[in-house]
Amino acid sequence: MNKLLEVSDLAVAFGDVSAVRGVSFAVEAGESLAIVGESGSGKSLSSLAVLGLLPPQARVTAGSIRFDGRDLLSRTDDELRRLRGEELAIIFQDPLSALNPSLTVGYQIGEVFRRRRGLGRAEARQKAIEAMTEVGIPDAAARAGNYPHEFSGGMRQRVMIAMAMALQPRLLIADEPTTALDVTVQAQILRLLRQRQEAGLALIIISHDLGVVARTAQSVVVMYAGRAVESGTVADLFSAPAHPYTRGLMAASPSARDAERTVRPIDGYPPDITSPPSGCAFHPRCPFAQERCRTEEPALRTVSPGRTSACHFAEEVVTHDESLATRA
Ligand code: SF4
Ligand code: MG
């Protein structure tokens, strides 16, 4: 059966520079998929391509994006605009920049109903209050009259979720939705997204934080330098990563590990995508790297059912003892 969203071999370029190369992922109604990586890995671009929201200099150069069996890449801008909100929606890290500071939040959420559903002002306001209540904003009727700056960061993110969910889209992409929030509020927002997903929403969560992924997603795609380097279920990845970069992310994530272990950041920096390293793009930072890794780019291959890795030595990495992975 086809999944609700199916992205296959997607490639995105800025002029001559490949920013995303051959990335595939899929998500079904009621499922949650995480796309993980450092900044510049291409994780945001991959999802912006789905929504037809790539920056003007960027374009899709290969691959396909199918939503509910329909080809999204052949849609006109108008058709995509109509789909956004109605069927696909996105929320970002910084709700303040996405909200108009001079309009009340009730008005801004109500605008969705006025514009898209042709509701009158009073009716739209009522719908806005309902939408705010649904995402757990207390005393929504009174809060609808407040301006964005009168809300805390967590409440503002709830406002964005209310707005994104107003027209009951089938797919929500959440791009670093909790990065700006403290840990307690982060957990509340993730719980809210999870409830939505359990109620039938297809959710894509984009994050650099494996702790967030562990709490929200069922499956994961790990991206590095514009490529998918590992994919699988959350349970498989967390119990035994099959790519050294995933191992590194786990070691670097305080919330993905048990408390008594020390957090160890990955050595080095993400590569410059205008001149990526030869062979395996991760080799300059990889504690497992061998001579072959400098010259031969590893293909993404199936290493066990439901599991892919783009590492020449994936099988050894999976079974590798943690204590040996420090030899870099
Ligand atoms: Fe490391 Fe080589 Fe695997 Fe790349 S292919 S992740 S450099 S071991
Ligand atoms: Mg990003």
In the chain, where are the structural domains located?
Answer: 27-51+76-87+171-324, 95-168
The pLDDT, as a whole number, for residue 1 is 61
Task: Report yes or no for ipTM above 0.90.
Answer: yes
11, 18 contact by CB (below 8 A): yes
Which H or E run contains 266? none
Instruction: Record the tokens describing residue 193, joined without a space.
Output: 């997204």
The distance in angstroms from the start CA to the end CA of the chain is 44
Which H or E run contains 181? none
> Angle 77-86/105-117 helices, nearest 10 degrees?
120
pTM metric for this prediction: 0.93
The pLDDT, as a whole number, for residue 258 is 55
CA distance 2 to 7: 11
Ligand 1 touching residue 298 (CB < 6 A)? yes
Low-confidence ranges of the chain (pLDDT < 50): 323-328
The pLDDT, as a whole number, for residue 327 is 45
The pLDDT, as a whole number, for residue 264 is 81
The pLDDT, as a whole number, for residue 95 is 78
- Ligand nearest the Cα of residue 46 is 2
In this structure, which CATH number among 1.10.760.10, 3.40.50.300, 3.10.150.10, 3.30.300.20 belongs to the domain 27-51+76-87+171-324?
3.40.50.300
Ligand 1 atom 3, closest CA:
311
The pLDDT, as a whole number, for residue 75 is 94
Ligand 1 atom 5, closest CA:
311
Ligand 1 touching residue 289 (CB < 6 A)? yes
Query: Residue 282 Cα, ligand 1 centroid: separation in angstroms?
Result: 6
The pLDDT, as a whole number, for residue 261 is 59
For residue 26, which of 235, 215, 306 has the smallest C-alpha distance? Answer: 306
CA distance 104 to 235: 42
Query: Residue 26 Cα, ligand 1 centroid: separation in angstroms?
Result: 25
The pLDDT, as a whole number, for residue 328 is 40
